[in-house]
Amino acid sequence: MITLATSSPQDTQALAAAISDHLVVGDLLVLAGDLGAGKTCFAQGLGGGLGVDERMTSPTFTLVNRYQSGRLELNHLDVYRLDDTAETLDLDLPELLEVGVTVIEWGEEIDQVLPVDHLTVRLRYPDVGAADDARIIDLEAGGPEWTDRLGAIVPSVERWTQ
Ligand code: ADP
Ligand code: MG
């Protein structure tokens, strides 16, 4: 696991963009963290890094937003409102995972249907006393593939290490 710190929404987006350079088609990122922690903000930074030129909005109601204007297709999901796994299956995840990079807010809620190989990005608030715009961001490898790849990301995210 790598633990990082950001100081503003723009800083979180810059971190996400740095990570986006390492992504390839088929990659899955699970975004974890409370409401308002910065999951959507992080996803927007990923999109910016991939060269998505559309405005990225939260997929809370649409469930899936797909962007094809960047270096790789980006599928942005938010499964907070899904009631059960049956609804999850309607998302047709296998197809999404095949065509591009997929990022799922609240993805841990459906981890039983997700591939074991994924990167979890966990956003949280620092302890009391920290600035309002400070966030702690943990990168956690899921599966053997990401355990190896996380090492390659380390130099790109050095400026956010504490
Ligand atoms: P989530 O998708 O996790 O519910 P959002 O990304 O929609 O969260 O909202 C995060 C909110 O927190 C935004 O209003 C954003 O401006 C603010 N914010 C403040 N500091 C940060 C930071 N360091 N990283 C991300 N968001 C931050
Ligand atoms: Mg969100």
**Residue-wise pLDDT tens digits, 111-130:** 988 999 999 999 999 988 88
- Ligand 1, atom nearest to 123 Cα: 3
- Ligand 1, atom nearest to 37 Cα: 3
User: Does the pLDDT of residue 58 top 80, yes or no?
Assistant: yes
Span of 23-37, 56-70, 80-94, 100-114 with lowest mean pLDDT: 80-94
Distance 99 CA to ligand 2 centre (A): 23
Which-ligand-closest: CA of 34? 1
Span of 17-21, 115-119, 125-129, 153-157 with lowest mean pLDDT: 125-129
Nearest CA-CA partner of 118 in 153, 145, 87:
145
Q: What is the pLDDT of residue 44?
A: 98
* 14 Cβ contact list (under 8 Å, min separation 6): 45
Q: Closest residue (by CA) to atom 15 of ligand 1?
A: 9
Q: Which residues are near ligand 1 (CB < 6 Å)?
A: 6, 8-9, 11-12, 33, 35-41, 58, 105, 133, 135
Q: What is the pLDDT of residue 114?
A: 93
> Which tokens hold the place of 79?
């499964």
User: Does the pLDDT of residue 147 top 80, yes or no?
Assistant: yes
H or E stretch including 143? helix 143-153
Helical H runs in 6-142? Answer: 9-20, 39-50, 85-90, 93-99
Q: What is the pLDDT of residue 106?
A: 95
Query: For 9-33, what is the mean pLDDT?
Result: 98
Nearest CA-CA partner of 76 in 92, 88, 64, 90:
64
Query: Do 142 and 119 form a contact (C-beta atoms < 8 A)?
Result: yes
Among 40, 41, 79, 160, residue to substitute to test ligand 1 (most atoms within 8 Å of Cβ): 41
Query: For 60-87, what is the mean pLDDT?
Result: 89
User: Does the pLDDT of residue 87 top 90, yes or no?
Assistant: no
Q: What is the pLDDT of residue 38?
A: 98
Provide the total of helices (H) and of strands (E) in the chain, helices listed first.
5, 7
Which-ligand-closest: CA of 126? 1
- Percent of the chain at pLDDT above 90? 85
pTM for this prediction: 0.96
Q: What is the pLDDT of residue 84?
A: 67
Q: What is the pLDDT of residue 130?
A: 87
